[in-house]
Chains A and B, each alone.
Chain A
């Protein structure tokens, strides 16, 4: 899948615990994204990065933080997980213009009990 790996693939955690999801790419692409997918809402952008240490918020960023200390890794952290954050999380990468299409990872199924 275009050299993009998400880990873990599945995680079950308890409310109030911190959770970190990892996205790793081997394509050296500039842009990296975190989306969540929920029934009835499609994909919603959480955060994205346009370079090392350069990140910005998406439409559903509350309760999430991100970090990108290396080109290849983009971490999504739920500081204190809530049941509303139960979702499937997708990472995506993009090289930049003129190639504007996204390449997606396989997703992480997160359940917060």
Chain B
């Protein structure tokens, strides 16, 4: 158990809908990262937050957005869902991304199925 929690574990929804994925980082970690794992694209970085502020963006679609709250938990919002958004979404956390010893620990993932 990495100490990173994600809810829900599974999510089934229809095209055009909006969903919110939630992540709680390990105790003491200030950084939260979101990744998408799909069969065709593999594991891809979406976005990074540090202590409430956005630090880096990957190939995140405009239909997707995220935020990190004062209690450091993070939410990934996916809207106008398409079939291609079906994937496993991972959250990872780390202590401090500026440290040379920093390591990202991953949560169990949320499996999103868009029908």
Co-assembled chains A and B: no
Instruction: Write the residues of chain A forming the contact surface with B, with a CB cutoff of 8 angstroms.
Output: none
Instruction: Write the residues of chain B forming the contact surface with A, with a CB cutoff of 8 angstroms.
Output: none
